[in-house]
Amino acid sequence: MEALGLPSLNTLSPHFHNQKISQLSSKTTLCQTTWELSSSSSSIQLTTSYRTRHFRGGIRMQAENEDYELKQVKDMAAARKRWEALVRDEKVKLLTPKEAGYAIQLSNKTLLDVRPSTERQRAWVKGSTWIPIFEVDNTADPGTVSRKVTSFVMGGWWSGVPTLSYDTQFLSKVMEKFPKDTDLIVACQKGLRSLAACELLYNAGYTNLFWVQGGLEAAEDEDLVIEGPQPLKFAGIGGMSEFLGWTDQQRVVAAKAGWGYRLLFSARLVGVFLIADALFIGAQRLGIYIQDIRSH
């Protein structure tokens, strides 16, 4: 799950009452960590699978990639079935971002924002309550460090998705603020982690739950009242892809903004190539210099 970070998300399309749930993707990365969802209890168990091998210089942590990926696929398939059932049986009601905006303004319903701080601090819905289901993992134990390195190498450097861990106090924090009969509109950036949160809340006894289809990223400017330093659609991007302007969200803005916006990111791309070229030439010259020293 991003850890439900639930790692990068694309779309899959189960239909419920002639509507698509577009964010339950088998291609999605819910966070880049091994995760387990328990359908029999209100808990999420995160596990890290690794083995140690001894080499000359010490111990190297090596992820068991095949087992890891297979387990993620199985866990995700099981979670999708449960989430589809929740929506199909109307235990969790589906709302579009526009409908969520109307519900907040006209019915005074509460928007529960379950995104991590890295997304929340960029943009948020005015008046929303923030209780993250996953938060950035800042621990430095060997297992976490190994997972962070694997996440970075496997695409985190490009997407900017951090390693997240499940907040074991999530349910208790929600219960402290809201009675179980409260109308809660649950939202995350792309719509997947919020479904996981809905499942936990439903299993804990919350019965008036609403899920924002597609997440806050799917909202148009007029759908919700937004606060924060950046557009809501940009809250979930990062890494080198954001720096170079190669995300879908930035391409949409570039198409509207014109050449000035495109030139900025074109200049950054040229700069990256120049730096890479300089480093390559520098490495070559350093290698020649070291060879000369050894030969004398």
pLDDT tens sequence across 226-268? 999 999 999 998 888 888 887 888 888 777 777 777 777 777 7
Question: Which is the catalytic residue, given 171, 188, 209, 219?
Answer: 188
- Is residue 6 helix, strand or coil? coil
Domain residue limits, the chain: 63-231, 245-286
31 is annotated as an active-site residue: no
Distance CA 84, CA 199 (A): 11
Q: Quick one: pLDDT at residue 42? A: 40
Distance CA 112, CA 25 (A): 22
pLDDT tens sequence across 47-86? 333 333 333 444 444 444 557 667 778 888 888 899 899 9
Average pLDDT over residues 185-204: 95
Whether 182 has a pLDDT exceeding 70, the answer reads yes
126 closest CA partner among 235, 250, 232: 232
27 closest CA partner among 60, 69, 85, 86: 69
Q: How many CB atoms lie within 10 A of CB 222?
A: 9
CATH class, 63-231 region: alpha beta
CA trace torsion 286, 290, 292, 296 (10° rounding) = 160
Q: Quick one: pLDDT at residue 27? A: 35
More confident residue, 284 or 184: 184
Q: What is the pTM of this model?
A: 0.68
